[in-house]
Amino acid sequence: MSVSATQSTIEPKATGSEHPEDAPISIHDMTVAYHRKPVLWDVDFDAPEGKLIGIVGPNGAGKTTIFNLISRIYDPLDGTIVFNGQDITHEQPHRIAQLGIARTFQNIELFENATVLDNLLLGRHRHHRTQFWQEIVFFPVVRHQELEDREKVEEIIDFLDLQHYREQFVRSLPYGVRKVVELARALATQPELLMLDEPSSGLNVEETRDMSFWIRDIRQQLGITLLMVEHDMKLVADVSDRVLALNDGRVLTEGSPSSVQGNADVVAAYLGE
């Protein structure tokens, strides 16, 4: 899997202010518990528009819990989640993608018996404006919608260099390619916020390098705001604008990748006292 050097044709988002009040996603004083056992304590951070926030910490620190909160899989005990100025703390889970939030998973979630193209087209559901009765009759508006979906999906296929795999079934693909396909399906939704859960998990050195290129291009060329949970600190340092370090559900520190890597509390959390 090679890295494409061509410029993307996907329309980039305009980058806005980096002030917290303009942040697409803000977590305020978030506390979560499972079976009365707290797993997050007063977590508070913002993600500036068009930037990537890396979230790091040892296993059980609460990293993926943050993603599950934003996805509305979990409910908080306290705190608020604000997306584009709207409080989504108690939003219905099925509404999250419609609002412009997409995510990938540590364990790949794709339709294995469908082609790469079909998996990406499923990601376009958020943008469908046609009614069921119109689709039965196949009105011109339905054809226009299908052409628009196909055009957007083909742009993503070119952007992530997936042309060779377009018509292949997901079940026949190598693991590393599946990870890119899942990333492509998330992009097909045209999200304003993209959450990446362990994007390098299970990848070899070359595949991880390619993934870092894709992530950097998504941030720089498309202007999408990203949150990334990741254990590979080199990848975190390569692509993150800022890093949030967690341990035992609490924020240890937040800052530049280099400052977080050198923080004594972060080193102790990873390596022990």
Split at pLDDT 50, 70, 90, the class of 66 is very high
pLDDT of residue 165: 96
Residue 16: what pLDDT?
Answer: 39
Look at residue 14 and tell me if it is in a domain: no
Q: Has residue 5 been placed in a domain?
A: no
Q: Is residue 8 part of a domain?
A: no
Based on the structure, what is the number of domains in the chain?
1
Q: List pLDDT tens digits, range 92-148.
A: 998 998 899 999 988 888 999 999 999 998 888 765 565 554 555 555 665 666 778
Q: Which domain holds residue 242?
A: 21-271
Is residue 267 assigned to a domain?
A: yes
Cα separation, 154 vs 257, in Å, equals: 34
What pLDDT is recorded for position 6? Answer: 39
Q: How many Cβ atoms from other residues are within 10 Å of residue 65's Cβ?
A: 22
Q: What is the pLDDT of residues 153-162, one digit of tens each?
A: 999 999 999 9
Lowest mean per-residue pLDDT among 71-75, 225-229, 243-247: 71-75
Structure tokens at 273: 């006292």
Query: What pLDDT is recorded for position 23?
Result: 73
What does the alpha-carbon distance between residue 126 and residue 147 come to, in Å, rounded to a whole number?
15
Identify residue 198 by its one-letter amino acid code.
E
CA-based angle 128:26:153, to the nearest 5?
A: 30
Is residue 92 in some structural domain?
yes
Q: Quick check: is 220 in a domain?
A: yes
pLDDT of residue 127: 53
The dihedral over CA atoms of 241, 273, 32, 101, expressed in degrees to the nearest 10, equals 20
Closest CA relative to residue 71, chosen from 51, 54, 47, 88: 88
Structure-block tokens of residue 20: 């917290």
Q: What is the dihedral of CA 45, 48, 53, 59, to 10 degrees?
A: 30
Domain at 94, CATH number: 3.40.50.300
Write down the pLDDT at residue 107.
Answer: 84
- pLDDT score recorded for residue 21: 54
Q: Report yes or no on whether pTM surpasses 0.85.
A: no
- Predicted confidence (pLDDT) per residue in 10-33, tens digit: 555 444 334 355 678 999 999 998
Q: Is 96 contained in some domain?
A: yes
Q: What does the mean pLDDT of the chain come to?
A: 86
- The pLDDT of residue 132 is 55
Query: Could you tell me which residues come within 8 angstroms of residue 255 by beta carbon, excluding any fewer than 6 positions away?
Result: 242, 243, 263
Distance CA 55, CA 213 (A): 19
In a domain, 2, yes or no: no
- Please give the average per-residue pLDDT across 247-263, as a whole number: 93
* pLDDT tens per residue, range 198-207: 999 999 999 9
Main-chain phi, psi angles of 251, to 5 degrees: -80, 120
List pLDDT tens digits, range 168-185.
999 999 999 999 999 999
pLDDT for position 271: 63
